Every structure is written in structure tokens, then in C-alpha cells.
Structure 1
């Protein structure tokens, strides 16, 4: 008969040959930032490794995507134990082969048959006359059969129903009978066979038989790894029988007594209501088990409530530590916001934190000797007080934490970071005295911490950004926009030529103070980025002399961290010819078209300057103005030379253009100006036809930018009014230049124009 398990499938503790009834898998999504992007409190500093999967993780089932491993987790230990038992009769690799390799089954069968017939198995190459080797072969004979039932394979997509083949009843009887027949003093072998009986029963149709067998035999077993796996089987049995009070008690024992099982015990724990939990706690045998029940339930419900209950029962319980870290990290996640830190200056209102629990922590610290980890409690208390502006309380708490930190590097680093944040939060200006006081800690944070291998898990990234943004706000409020920009670059700074020049002078300054050197080194942009951005903005503002001068300085050699010269700086090539004006906007077509001259950003500006000089001097105004119109059109979002505005500071690479850059990258004013000049200077209908059409593209782009894309309700399917506007250039082309060759080219290439002509006939 087959058993069908529905919904949640219990994960059990079977050891070497067990996969359990199911395994959850979490993939780390691309671009996952980790926890330090909005947290500065490192739980790894305060609780041992066994608690790590239980740390606060708002978006995952378990911290750091921790997974439960039942197949491979105990392999090395079991191999080592059997190798020691066999006293070098087999090599370690041979032991591993028999235990773990499926291809060993044929050899095991031959060896077992040889044992039963008392004939040597010469081809096996094993000393089967040795009693320990005989026991090993016998163990393998039973264990491999039971393994087949404990590692059922099922579809990972079938979340609702898993069909499990139960252990053969005859096999259960045989392995139990064999175990009961063992009367010698080989405790190691008896212990292993006992566990195989328990395992076989757990995967059988009569899973409930685990309970009496366990109760009758557990007192004879040593408290080793198999002992605790057996507790897991017992808990799993009660769970599957729906007796959650009893299953929770077993998992609480595991959680308390076996650190390696904490993650597994917590996963299988059944959270209950407050009344049910109270009853279970009352029934627990001692305060430590009571604390474990409360801690596990607190993980699923409310860690603050659990903290207070455990403290009353067992104030030195280590479970308090991981619950405090969860509480602190939860407070952080309700306050911090990576994308809008500048909008949340400290202090925050008390209503934004769990103020009641904060006061309770303060009461705990009236008797710090009662706690197992007072340094953690002091830090938690000080850190949350920091958020509400109680800076003196925070500082005193950090001092007390330091006295009790016992020299642990990660704890000391945590204290140093929180002290630094506390000092920064109180600044109202930055004086030379402040700089001298803070500089050592800031150098440590920005230069030493990222390279310190002892601080791998240290959460410092959010704090490092928060400090720079907080200092930037102070500089803004004290009228120092340059240092505010250095600390926290804001969009639009380089729109102002005077500010750009000031930054250039600052970065070139050779006598910077140590404070200035630190933050200049952290500034995300190099001089070439600045020169290039200023040159680009000067171009769009039609300040060609400034644009040329600045672009000349945008040399790749000045930007040591960048190696991609294809889209940055003065020698980056424009992919299409920016002086061509085509009927259809097809950037890809322009990019692959043969180009007799390849323009870079610098040579493009030189050519634009030359054309402007010609226009200003009245030299061949039509052709020079036409080429200038094409140049300004193609260096807009609509043209073939978008590479021209690619820049680290401007930061426009896609279809979305930020509002502040829309007048430059979507604006058509300069293109329209020069096309209009060309129209006035035209001497033939062919020339006038061409410019009229190019002006219609200007009118179309302006319409879409300023009207069509600004109104959600403007377009509806089938609206001819919207889809086929009568651009002024279209009308002129139709009414005045239908006889030109250019008109015929437009008819051939522009479907929009053809539709307009067809509609205008009716």
C-alpha cells in the first residue's frame, strides 16, 4: 500500500541515507543586494553559527537562503566513525565507497551471501573473517535496503501531493528481529542497527510503531548523533499523527541540546496560539526546554514577546541573543530606506519603533550580570535609542558594551561603527576639530573595513552611505554645496558651469587636507567624467567654444578606473554619421551604413564649430545650416548619435530620459533653428522640399514629447486625429513640392506620409 502525504511534508532527521519527505530550495536571485544595504547591525557578531539560519530575513524563509541538507550532512562523520570501528581493515576511501556509492550494491550482496553461507568471497578482497568487517557488511545489507524507501524520488513541481512507497513490512520485521538478537557487547554496532530499525519503522505503513520502540530502547543508547536523529524521528512521527504538543516538545529538546539541529528543529516546529503555547510550556520538563519552545514560537510570531518570557524563565539562555538580533534588525527595516535615506534625517518619532520593548531592554540592563551576553543588550539598547535621538544614552551604552565585548573583532567593529554613526548624527556643522576627531574612524570605515577578511559578514555598507549623506546634508545646511556634492552626488550639480568649475579646482588642488583627500578619493566621478558632462551640457546650450575646450580635457588617461573608451570621453566614436538627415529615423541602419568619415565626440564638436562659423559668416548657409540641423537632431534621443551624450554623470543610456535632461535630449530647438535657417537660404524646390520634411519630423517629436506622451487619455485605437497629424511640413510638401524628386522619395520611404496623403484626398 502507498502512503500519500498532503500539503506540508515534514522534514526529518534520518542521517546518511535519508532525503526526508521534501526539501525547500531558494535560489539567490540575480542582483540580490544582501542584508547590509539597509542594515548596520550584524547578527553574526552576537550569536553562534547554529543560529545563523534564524536571523531576521524579511524576504526569505531562512536567513541567507539557508537550506536543509539531509543527504550529505552527516557523510564525513559517519565515514570516520565506521573507519575507526573497522580499525584500518578497510581504507577510508573503501569505507566511503561502500557507504555512499550505489554501484557497491552488487559487491555487498555477494559479501552478505558469503557470510550467510560461511564461504569466503575471494573476489571481494575483504577480510570477512574479522567480526567488525562482518558487522559492517551486515549493516550495509539492511541499510541499503532501507535507504531505498527513505530516499523516494518525486517531482519537485508537485507541491500538493507526494506518493511515498512505504518500507516493506517483511524488511521491518527482519531488521528488528536481527537487532533484538544482538546480545554481545558491541555497543557501536548495536547502536547503528537500532537506528536502522527506527528508520525502517518511520518509513513504514505503521509509522506509529516508532513511538513504543523508541520509548523501550532509547535509555540504552548513548547520547551521540544518532540519539538526536532519533529524537527527530520521534518528533516527526508525532507531527504526522497530528500530535503537535508532543512533536514540539521533541523539537524543543533538539533545539536546546543539539546546536547542529536548531535549523531543522525550527523548520519542523508547529507555531501555536498563545493559549496552546502556554499549555505546552507548562508541560515542558525544565526551564531550558521551556525557553526553547518559547524561542521557536517567537521566531514565527513575535520575538519581543518571546524575549520577555524567556528572560523570566532563563535570563542566561543563549536563545535570547538571536531573538534580540531579530528584534533590532526588524526595527531597522521599518526605518531605513536605501533609496531615500536623505528623506529620513534623524531622529525619528518614537512611534516608528517598538518603544515598549526598548524600555524593557533598559530595565534588563539594571542587572547585566543576569545576562549571558550583556554586550549585545547594551548595543541593541543604544542603537535603537540612537534612532530616536537619545545620543547620550547610545554613547553610554556603547561604552558599556565595549567593556564587555571580550575582544571579539566583529563585536568591536560593530561598536566602533555605531559610535561613529552616533557622532555623525549630532553634527550641525563640520569644523576642523570635528574632522580631526572623526578622521581615524572614517579612514577605518572606508579604507580598512572593505579589505579586512575578519569582517566578511560585517554590515557596513548602509552606514557608509548614511554617513556620507548625513554629512552632505550638514554641508548643504551650512552653505557648502561643493563638499555636499563630494559626499553625496546629486543630479543637476553640473548644470551650473560655476559649480562644475569649482569641483574641477577642488579635485586638482594639490594641498587638500586629509579630510578632503579621503572624500575626494571616494567621489564616484573622475575629472574626465566632469569635463565630459560639462562639455555635453555646453553643447546642448549651444556654447560651442566651452564644449570644445572641456571635451578636449576629457581624456581617458585621466580616468584610471575606466577602460571602456567606446562610449566615454573625447575619443569615443559616434556610431552613425551625425550630419546625415534621413527620411526614416533608423539608428541601426545608420550605424551599419558605410561612413567615409568616423566622428568622435571631439571631432564632431570641431565640425559643428566649423559649420557654425560658416553660417555666421554667410558662407553656403543652406548646406551648413542643414548639416547643423542634422547634427543637433542626431545627438538628441531621436537621432543616430546617442553615444554623444553617454556619460557617467548624465547617466542616460535607455529609453527613459530623466525630467532634468529632457529639454536637452528630447528638445528640438537647435535643430529647428538651423533647419529654419536652411529653409530661408534654400535656392530650389528640391532643397525646400527636403527641409520642409525635416521640419515635420521636428514638429512630430515636439508633439509626442509635449502633448501625446503627457496625456494618458489622448490616444485611443482608431483615432485618425492623433495617428496622422497634418504637420506643417507635410502640408507644404503636399501643396507646394509634390513635383519634386524628394517628394517621391518620401512617398516611397515614409508610410506615415503616405497615410496622410491618402486621408487628405477625402
Structure 2
């Protein structure tokens, strides 16, 4: 027993302290070495389709490599693997083969391929399938060749081909197996033996011999078998206790029974503790006990994914029962038990207990990468604030792990992840931001302030070893080029055209598709002839316009061109790429900067309008002002929806396109001044005539305005105002949403203009808004409630109803503002106990 234990520990150490290969770099944190067990390198649920596909992909690679090795040995190493691959898998360079038996075998493989190949990999036409040799004839040919050929190597391969064809086509495969299974008695097992066993087991199950077939599949559950995955994926056939009992009875020894418990334990719904106990009764030192425990620990590493932005939050698992069980375990080598107890204790936030198990592990296994990783995780966990001394300690520990550990990618990325929060808590915002960018530096997250501060950090000489490490990582990402480009964009974004020009960056030679000084009827000015000006030429042109405006601020044409350029540099113009990296069609980043650009453009257009004498130019300026006003409306109604941790900023979801209902909102919110002036004063210009033909914006606006100007019953209202509103309240309450289509924004816009909101009507208007919101006519409810609050800003219930209306229209930001004001007023009135729970929940959400 002592010799056996010593031998096991030596073997375990040889394995443990060697590198088992890196994990896939998929953003997860995995701090364990890979084990040389079936399924040991797959941390995901084995029953996920994605996991299965990965396993099959890996199997095909391994099978191909093993098959090529066999063929190379059979061909006496006269051909390279590349040559053999072309011959076996691509049917090319077959003339390199001189052996007639092998040539006949390869020809037969080609003939039978049509019956066994997946259509995903090989496509055969209907005609090819019709003309194919029937499988029964091919099976006969394979068996005849098997009998004639002298090579045992080829005999076994013909056996496999015949058996596979018979299995796929239901042509008595078990008869073939029983006749030729003597070929498998060869002690030198190869991949062909594994294939034959897999086909045989499948044929048994297809015939109805479920238990025997599953037992045969279980024989493949070994690292020495190429198709070990079949053991698990065919275990699903065992569904009853009776079948399980028969399966156990077929097993020849305790090791085989332990194997069955292990395979069952790999299922997603398995009770791992129960299966570990079952194996322990047979042999607690079994390799299958180690496999199941390792898989449980590996799966548990998703704990770290809870904190990983890529995967969102997972449900936390309670490991109390597992810990209680493992505390009772006594086996020859306690390494994996104690490692599991260390990690599980950490998950349960029992840091003291985790450190106790770490201390035990360090006594014997201080050089284990896994033990060092656990030690480092606990070290990071103890840090609450970061300063230069703490950074030095982090680097010292991290550097050792990076030099030694096969899990260095996880260790490094986890360090950055933890430091992102720690730096933020220490008010070191730039370093916190940089930690979020270490895996992939996203140019979209850069603004001018960040560019300057990062540039300063990179060029600053320091004795801080961790800072130097970060700088070296950034330089490896070619960050200088990224910063240079972002700086130019940032300077242009902030109207610093001279400074952008003075950078002399290579990017200044990039050409821009559209001229920023041109204006077209199309809203974003991308219609018409394309230009090929460089950024440098554009900046020089802008500076020349600014110089003219400095000496002659009222020059109409210069103001017009400058205003057009500033509009085109905005999100809404033709050259936003000069200020925005990776522009989205649906959202923009800086509400403040966009408003500043649009307002600057409006100011210069207005100056041009005041001083110009040309009616055609004035018509063009008015339409440009209308486009700017549409942009202002878009900005005002954008919603602050998405917060990006990596950018420490929000994106603002814009309207994206204008519907008829948006033009109604546009009008009732007081926009449309420039469209009206354009039609009233310049409808006789050639520009206006072209505009009315091509411009959808103007036509939509005029269509909605026709509704506004229609003379209707509101004009005759005098003393019956309350009666009208009471009728309206009941009508809205009684009708379905579909029947209320005439009660739109324009209707209520006209209603409030003719029946003012006052002490006599305010309650009725509030009630009408309430019933509109109930019928999911949120836009109309929001309009009325805002009108009520303009006059009665202390009306508590209106804020509550307004919050509901915004919430139903998915405008969470404005909903929370309304709810917050409602809560504030309720507290002032000492009515906080009457605040509905839903309001509190929504404010917290």
C-alpha cells in the first residue's frame, strides 16, 4: 500500500507541475491546469450544443492526426504527413503510392464514400446518388478484399468499412462483427479498433440491446481511446434503474463500475456528491474520483464569470454541502480535495477557511501553479485601496505567475479586472479605465482628455514597476498610433482646428468622401458629387474661414459655409467620421458636444440670413436652419439608455428616423419656425421649388400643419369647456385604443390652445391624461401632463402619472425624473407611506 501511494503521488506530481496547455482565450477566468482525462478540458456544460460541437471538432483533429501517423508508419515513413493527407483525405497525388493493395483499398474508399459521408462535408448530386453502387455490393466487395489481402493493417480497415456500411444501411452489421472480431485480438490497439468498437456499440443499441451497447461504449471512456466522447453521449440510453442494474452487472470489476458512476456524474443534472460517494465506496483513490472532483472544481470557476462583463451575472451557487462532504474525505493524496475546499471556501466568502486550506497546500505543493493562483486570488481579495506600494506588491506576485504559470492569461486578465474596481474606489479613474482596455483597446472609448493623460503616462519615466508593465503592454498594442489618431479626432471634435493641424499626424493625409462645405437637400448632405479633400485641406479651409469671420463677422457667404461645415462635422452631417470613431446609426456618445455643434451652426446660419441680400441663398439658409432644428429635436428626444463601463460613458439612443407622429411631436414642442418662414416668404424661389419635389421632411411637416390649421369645433367653445372635457374623459375611458386614433397629439395641441388649463379644467385634463396612458397612448398623455405641470408644478399626482406614461414608452430616464419629483413632493406632504411600491422599485432599477 505504501509503495502504491508513493507511486501515485510521484505520477501526480509529474503531471501536476507540467504545463497541460492553455485554456481557450474566450474571456473567462480559469485558474486550473488541464488534466489528461476525457472531458477534463471542457469547463462548459457537456450537453450544450456549442460544447458538443467543440468536442467533435477537437476529435476530428485528433483522429486525423492519429490516422496520418498510422499511414506514415505503414508506408515506412517514405512520405510526409502533408503528402499522405492529400492522398487519404483529398484523393490527390495517389501516384505516389506504389503498393497495389493500398491503391485498391483507396479506390474502394472512394467508391463507398457516397453512402457514409455527411452532406455537410461532401455534396453529391441526385444523379450521383442514383448511379452509386448499392451498399450490399460494396459490403460484399469489402469482405472479399478482406479475405484476399495479406496485410493485417488493411484487413482491419476493410473490416471497419464493411461494418460501418452495414450499420448505416441496416444490413446485419452484428453478423459481420461476430465473424471478423477475431481481427481485434491484436494487442497493438489503434484508432481503427476504436472506430470498430464505436460502430459495434451503436449497432447493438440500434438492434435494441441498449444495456450491452452502452456497456461497449463505456469501454471507450479512456484517454487512450480516440473517440472517448461516445461513452458519455451514448449514456443517455440508460433511463431506468433496471437498465442501470444490468449495466453494473455487466461490469467485470470495481474499476469499470467506478467508470460508470463517473460517466453518469458528468451529466448536467447529476448529483456530483452522490456519485463521488459511490466511487469512494469502491476506491476513493480511483482516477474516476479525481476526474469527477476536478470537473466539479472546473465547472465552479464560472464563479469568476459572475464578475466578468463579457458573460453578465450568473446565479451564485451555494457550496456549503459540497464543503461539508469534502471535509470528511480522507484519501492517499489530498491535493485536489484541499484545492477544491480552498476555492469553494473563497466562493462562500469564508476567507479565513480558504487561507487555512491554502496553508495546508503550500506545505507540500508550494510550486503548484494552481496553489499559487489561489494564493494570488486571496491576495487580491484582501486589497481595498491601491497606491504605489500596493502596485509594487501586485507586480512582484504577478510577475512570478506570468513567468511560471500555464494559466497566465487568466491570471493577468483577472488582475486587470480586479484593479479596474480597486482603482475606481481609490479615485484613480485613468488607471481604472486603462484596466478595462488591457484585453482589447477600443478607440471609441477615447476622448481628448484621456488621450492627453495616457500620452503623459506613456512618456513619463517612473520607478513604479507595475506602471512600467502597463505601459509596455500598451506599447505592444501599438497604442501610440491609436492615440495619435484619436487626438486629431478629439481636437476637431472640440473645434481646435489649428492644434489638430499642428499635430502633423499621418491621418491628416486621409481623404474625406464628401465636402464639409457643401449643403444639399438631403438631410445628411451626402447626395451629389463626391469630393476627395484631405483632412489637412479641410482644416486649412476652416481656419481660413475663421480668419475671414474674425475681420468681417457679418460676411453672409462665409458664415453660411462655416455653419455648413460645423453641421457636417456633427453626428447629423456628411463627415461625422472626422469627429467620431465608428459612428453608430442608432446612437451617439456626447449630447453636450452635439448640441454645441448644432447651436454653433444655427448661430452662423442666422448671421448669414440677417446679412444676405440673395433670396435664393436665404431660402437655402432657412432650409439649413430647419435641418439643424430637426437635429435639435432629435437631440432633445434622445434617451440616455446604455452605460458602457469600458468607456465610463453613456450612449444616447436617437430617433433614427422621423415618423408622422414625430412631426406631430415636433410641432407641439414648438419647433417648425424655419419651415414656416421658408414656405411663407420664399416659396417663389427656384430652390424652394426643387426642395418641395425632393424633400420629404418639408412635405411631412406641411401635411401635419394642415391638421393644425383646420378650423374645427374648438373655435366655437365658450362657456361649455368643462362639459366638453367631461365628455372627452368618458369617451376615452369607454373606447378601445384603436377607436381613439383621432385623439392624437395634434388634437390635444389644438384642444389646450382653445380650452386653457386652469383651476376649473386641470383635474379633467389630468384625468384625460390618465385614461390615455391606460390605453397606451403615452405620447398624448405625456403632452397633456407636461402642459399641466407647466402651470401647476406642485401637482403631485401629475408627476406620478407622467412617470407611468414615460415608463410605458420605454423612456426610463424621464420616467425616473418624474417619479423622483413625485416622491419628493409626497415626502414634503408627510405622505411617504402612501408611495406605491412600484415607484420605489422602478427608481431602484
Please tell me the TM-score bracket, short chain as reference: 0.5 to 0.7
For the Cα contact (< 8 Å) 1:256–1:289, is it kept in 2?
no
2:429 is the alignment partner of 1:481? yes
- Say if 1:207 and 1:684 are closer, same or farther in 2 by CA, change over 3 A: closer
Q: 2:295 is matched with which residue?
A: 326
C-alpha distance in structure 1 between counterparts of 2:212 and 2:597, whole Å: 73
Task: Name the SS for the 1:255 alignment partner.
Answer: coil
Could you tell me how far 1:62 is from its partner in structure 2?
5.0
Q: 1:47 is matched with which residue?
A: 36
Q: 2:256 is matched with which residue?
A: 289
- Say if 1:323 and 1:167 are closer, same or farther in 2 by CA, change over 3 A: farther
Could you tell me how far 1:384 is from its partner in structure 2?
3.5
For the Cα contact (< 8 Å) 2:497–2:539, is it kept in 1?
yes
- Say if 1:590 and 1:395 are closer, same or farther in 2 by CA, change over 3 A: farther
Q: 1:246 is matched with which residue?
A: 212
Task: Name the SS for the 1:300 alignment partner.
Answer: coil
Could you tell me how far 1:151 is from its partner in structure 2?
6.6
2:115 is the alignment partner of 1:152? yes
- Say if 1:575 and 1:166 are closer, same or farther in 2 by CA, change over 3 A: closer
For the Cα contact (< 8 Å) 2:166–2:172, is it kept in 1?
yes
For the Cα contact (< 8 Å) 1:527–1:554, is it kept in 2?
no
Could you tell me how far 1:749 is from its partner in structure 2?
4.5
String of CA shifts for 1:530-572, please: whole Å, max 9, x gaps: 676577566656xx5xx2465356454xxxxxxxx44xxx554
Could you tell me how far 1:633 is from its partner in structure 2?
0.2
Could you tell me how far 1:299 is from its partner in structure 2?
2.4
Q: 2:459 is matched with which residue?
A: 508
Could you tell me how far 1:754 is from its partner in structure 2?
5.6
Task: Name the SS for the 2:266 alignment partner.
Answer: helix
Task: Name the SS for the 2:226 alignment partner.
Answer: helix
Give ranges in structure 1 of 5+ residues lacking alignment.
Answer: 1-32, 108-123, 127-135, 450-454, 557-564
Q: 1:640 is matched with which residue?
A: 574
Given the two structures, how large is their TM-score scaled by the length of structure 2? 0.62
For the Cα contact (< 8 Å) 1:341–1:466, is it kept in 2?
no
2:717 is the alignment partner of 1:728? no
For the Cα contact (< 8 Å) 2:605–2:621, is it kept in 1?
yes
Could you tell me how far 1:261 is from its partner in structure 2?
3.8
Task: Name the SS for the 1:266 alignment partner.
Answer: helix
For the Cα contact (< 8 Å) 1:379–1:397, is it kept in 2?
yes
Could you tell me how far 1:439 is from its partner in structure 2?
1.5
Give ranges in structure 2 of 5+ residues lacking alignment.
Answer: 1-22, 123-128, 640-652, 711-845
Task: Name the SS for the 1:577 alignment partner.
Answer: coil
Q: What does 1:275-354 correspond to in 2, within 5 Å?
A: 275=241, 276-277=243-244, 279-302=246-269, 304-305=272-273, 306-333=275-302, 335-337=304-306, 340=309, 351-354=316-319
- Say if 1:383 and 1:590 are closer, same or farther in 2 by CA, change over 3 A: farther
Aligned length: 644
Worse overlay, 629-638 or 353-362? 353-362
Q: What does 1:106-255 correspond to in 2, within 5 Å?
A: 152-153=115-116, 156=119, 166-168=135-137, 171=140, 205-209=171-175, 213=179, 222=187, 224-225=189-190, 230-255=196-221
String of CA shifts for 1:627-655, please: whole Å, max 9, x gaps: 22112101011212222214xxxx44332
- Say if 1:362 and 1:613 are closer, same or farther in 2 by CA, change over 3 A: farther
String of CA shifts for 1:22-57, please: whole Å, max 9, x gaps: xxxxxxxxxxx945411323452x225885579756
- Say if 1:39 and 1:237 are closer, same or farther in 2 by CA, change over 3 A: same
Given the two structures, how large is their TM-score scaled by the length of structure 1? 0.68
Q: 2:615 is matched with which residue?
A: 685
Worse overlay, 698-707 or 740-749? 740-749
C-alpha distance in structure 2 between counterparts of 1:272 and 1:472, whole Å: 49
Q: 1:519 is matched with which residue?
A: 470
* Aligned residue among 340, 349, 352 for 1:389: 349
Task: Name the SS for the 1:39 alignment partner.
Answer: coil
C-alpha distance in structure 1 between counterparts of 2:553 and 2:153, whole Å: 103
C-alpha distance in structure 1 between counterparts of 2:262 and 2:484, whole Å: 58
What is the root-mean-square deviation of aligned Cα atoms in Å?
5.3
Worse overlay, 712-721 or 302-311? 712-721
Q: 1:700 is matched with which residue?
A: 630
Q: 1:468 is matched with which residue?
A: 416
Could you tell me how far 1:697 is from its partner in structure 2?
0.8
C-alpha distance in structure 2 between counterparts of 1:491 and 1:140, whole Å: 58
C-alpha distance in structure 2 between counterparts of 1:688 and 1:191, whole Å: 91
C-alpha distance in structure 2 between counterparts of 1:173 and 1:492, whole Å: 63
C-alpha distance in structure 2 between counterparts of 1:494 and 1:43, whole Å: 37
Task: Name the SS for the 2:202 alignment partner.
Answer: helix
